[in-house]
């Protein structure tokens, strides 16, 4: 909110360069928020993909979680007025790679009733295949 007040002041004073800096800051804040949301939904998506591969099975609940996470990532990433997306495919990939370890740790609690550590689950799955599948689902 403070940024909007600054922006209004700069514009009313004719300080265009300062106003543009505030606009850039607002854009960065908005993109950061989008990245954080995509990161959170990415963990959920990757978690269920990891469990599916590790346990070599799926459930209706996991499938719905995958579907919902993909939809939320797509909605969050979509620019409605300007069209296009907030994150490029490379930025999506980077965000999912960042989320992978958190998803792996969560999977160690949920897969096989929690008997394996994250490092043990990691050798049961192929990280790049999991992330690529997630990207394919998102970009679908």
1 DSSP 8-state letter: -
Q: What pLDDT is stored for residue 3 in this prediction?
A: 81
Report the largest interatomic distance among the alpha carbons of the chain, rounded to a whole angstrom. 64
> pLDDT by residue (tens digit) across 92-115?
999 999 999 999 999 999 999 999
β-bridge mates for residue 78, sequence order: 85
Q: Is 122 helix (H, G, I), strand (E, B) or coil?
A: helix
Q: Using 50, 70 and 90 to split pLDDT, how confident is the model at 8?
A: confident
pTM of the model: 0.86
Per residue, what are the HEC states of 25-85?
Answer: HHHHHHHHHHHHHHHHHHHHHHHHHHHHHHHCCCCHHHHHHHHHHHHHHHHHHECCCCCCE
The domain limits of the chain are 32-139
Q: Does the pLDDT value for residue 70 go beyond 80?
A: yes
């Amino acid at each position: 909110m403070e940024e909007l007040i600054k922006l209004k002041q700069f514009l009313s004073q004719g300080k265009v360069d300062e106003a543009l800096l505030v606009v850039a800051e607002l854009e960065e804040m908005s993109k950061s928020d989008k990245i954080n949301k995509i990161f959170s939904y990415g963990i959920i998506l990757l978690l269920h993909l990891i469990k599916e591969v590790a346990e070599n099975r799926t459930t209706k609940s996991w499938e719905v979680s995958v579907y919902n996470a993909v939809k939320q990532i797509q909605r969050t990433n979509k620019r409605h007025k300007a069209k296009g997306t907030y994150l490029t495919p490379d930025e999506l990939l980077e965000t999912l790679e960042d989320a992978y370890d958190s998803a792996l740790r969560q999977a160690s609690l949920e897969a096989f009733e929690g008997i394996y550590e994250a490092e043990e689950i990691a050798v049961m799955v192929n990280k790049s295949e999991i992330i690529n599948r997630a990207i394919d689902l998102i970009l679908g």
